[in-house]
Structure 1
């Protein structure tokens, strides 16, 4: 089975990183937006860690076969704060994934809870596996249904 998601995230991450910040590397873009992707049943699930992101800044879009996810983590701007350590990155983050054919891109759903963005991407109906029934004409008579061995054994029980 062909994976409808390109596994070459590096080139897209590098391009988006250059466009968004001009200097962000692929590693830091992926580190800022780590993701998991898996298939379950007739849909894919993409989860992405976005802790501290304002939910109003999250933007998910699809154009042609490119899925783009953007989000922003704002810096703390309290004037009375004296920073002792500041390791949490701020700014705009973006990831782009090239998706293959066979997905229902117009039916993607998204939710954001506890710092995790979840996308559910259904497999298109025409791309789902299906069983084809085969009719058999025995000796010029009426057609009979051919069933798999497991089905015929179950029917005999």
Structure 2
């Protein structure tokens, strides 16, 4: 009995497994704004909290962590969870207080809270106007 071999199907299978492995070894994250700060949540399941490193240099935020392999003497039947060092870098824009980032790690999720800088927050600008004698007064002085 002859079998049919489709080279495109085989290539699709190979590329699919490569992309699946690449996606599983990345650091998936969510980013949202809540009031006057941004929240970045990064999935780091199975990572030793002592290996997590968060740093900021200029406008680059770097997150680095390590997942160590379980016993190498085990007879693996399936091994999909990647091990080793993982890193992700984000270029952040101006208007953030990068010196006031707060970080916490719970339930396999690293959460960074990044406040908006005071200079970037919206504010009211008072308008000066001329008084009856040609004097300029501010809105606070006007009565």
* TM-score, normalization by structure 1: 0.68
C-alpha RMSD of matched pairs (Å): 2.4
Tell me the distance in 2 between the aligned counterparts of 1:138 and 1:56.
Answer: 64
Per the alignment, residue 48 of structure 1 pairs with 42
Change (3 A) 1:58 1:144: closer
Which 4+ runs in 1 deviate beyond 4 A? 141-144
Per the alignment, residue 33 of structure 1 pairs with 27
Is the contact made by 2:39 and 2:111 (CA closer than 8 Å) also made in structure 1?
yes
* TM-score, normalization by structure 2: 0.74
Q: Cα offset for 1:139?
A: 3.2
Looking at secondary structure, tell me which structure has more helix per residue.
Answer: 1
Unaligned runs of 5+ in 2: 1-17
Per the alignment, residue 65 of structure 1 pairs with 59
Unaligned runs of 5+ in 1: 1-23, 147-157
Q: Which entry has the higher C-alpha Rg, 1 or 2? A: 2
SS of match in other structure, 2:139: strand
SS of match in other structure, 1:106: helix
Per the alignment, residue 84 of structure 1 pairs with 77
Tell me the distance in 1 between the aligned counterparts of 2:24 and 2:90.
Answer: 12
